[in-house]
């Protein structure tokens, strides 16, 4: 079964960044969601066949472009052996996959007239920059653009902590601030409802903020 995300990169250009990005995306989007040849092609497997199978089933292809990407492409055009990076990108474009150019090392998207015909569709795709000094927020923005699932397990964990904390806070507030109140149970209920409403508002705010960030990416 193909992985949802396929990282295309040149080993002479962005090997280190490819491994780092794979780790970051799997942390954000779930384990085993990323295909990278160095990690996912087993010994003895037909390299070309595995690439074709993964590309056919993948959701999105992330094309890493560093400062040497274009010069390496031009050099490969003069050789007779297949350029698998070119094949990956051309196949993804032909299949209508979501193709996201990711610019690294301060690189820019190459001009269309510098690319062979089967890669020119790459320049029409919206690119994302990953900066060394802002790696974490940039990878979050990339994951949101791809379609990162909302982390409901984190919500459940926070809720599991918030409920007992709310009960303890309500007991303390009533016992300390209103020890002589006639209806302490009613007051405690009001405090609990208020604190839980505040918590729900915070969770909604986090969800809305992420939704707006994704819409603007």
Higher per-residue confidence, 121 vs 4: 121
Comparing C-alpha atoms, which of 61, 80, 78 is closest to residue 121?
Answer: 61
Comparing C-alpha atoms, which of 9, 5, 41 is closest to residue 25?
Answer: 5
**CATH code for residues 5-146:** 3.40.50.10140
pLDDT for the residue 37: 73
DSSP 114: G
124-176 residue pLDDT tens = 999 999 999 999 999 988 888 887 655 555 555 666 666 677 767 667 666 66
Pairing of strands 98-103, 60-65: parallel
32-80 residue pLDDT tens = 778 887 666 676 777 688 888 888 888 889 999 999 999 999 999 888 8
Residues 6+ away with beta carbon under 8 Å from 155: 203
Most confident option among 60-64, 181-185, 186-190:
60-64
Q: Which long-range contacts (CB under 8 A, 24 or more apart) does 45-48 make?
A: 47/84, 48/82, 48/84, 48/87
DSSP 80: S
Predicted confidence band at 1 (pLDDT cuts at 50, 70, 90)? Answer: very low
The three-point CA angle 26-31-37 to 5° equals 70
8-27 residue pLDDT tens = 999 999 989 999 999 998 88
94-114 residue pLDDT tens = 999 999 999 999 999 999 999
Pairing of strands 5-8, 128-129: unpaired
Residues 6+ away with beta carbon under 8 Å from 20: 135
Residue spans in the chain of domains classed CATH 3.40.50.10140: 5-146
Query: Does the pLDDT of residue 85 top 90, yes or no?
Result: yes
pLDDT for the residue 158: 64
């Amino acid at each position: 079964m193909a992985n949802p995300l396929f990282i295309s990169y040149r080993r002479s250009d962005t090997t280190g960044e490819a491994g780092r990005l794979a780790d970051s995306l799997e942390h954000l989007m779930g384990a085993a969601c990323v295909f990278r040849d160095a990690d996912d092609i087993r010994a003895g497997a037909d390299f070309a066949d595995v690439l074709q199978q993964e590309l056919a089933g993948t959701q999105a292809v992330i094309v890493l472009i560093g400062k040497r990407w274009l010069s390496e492409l031009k050099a490969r055009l003069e050789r007779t052996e297949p350029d698998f990076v070119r094949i990956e990108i051309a196949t993804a474009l032909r299949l209508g996959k979501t193709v996201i150019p990711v610019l690294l090392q301060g690189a820019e998207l190459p001009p269309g007239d510098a690319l062979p015909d089967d890669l020119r569709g790459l320049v029409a795709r919206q690119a994302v920059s990953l900066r060394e000094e802002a790696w974490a927020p940039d990878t979050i923005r990339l994951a949101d653009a791809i379609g990162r699932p909302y982390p409901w397990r984190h919500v459940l964990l926070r809720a599991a902590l918030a409920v007992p904390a709310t009960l303890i806070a309500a007991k303390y507030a009533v016992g300390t601030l209103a020890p002589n109140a006639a209806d302490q149970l009613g007051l405690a209920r009001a405090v609990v409802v208020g604190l839980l409403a505040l918590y729900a508002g915070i969770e909604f705010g986090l969800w809305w903020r992420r939704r707006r960030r994704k819409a603007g990416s």
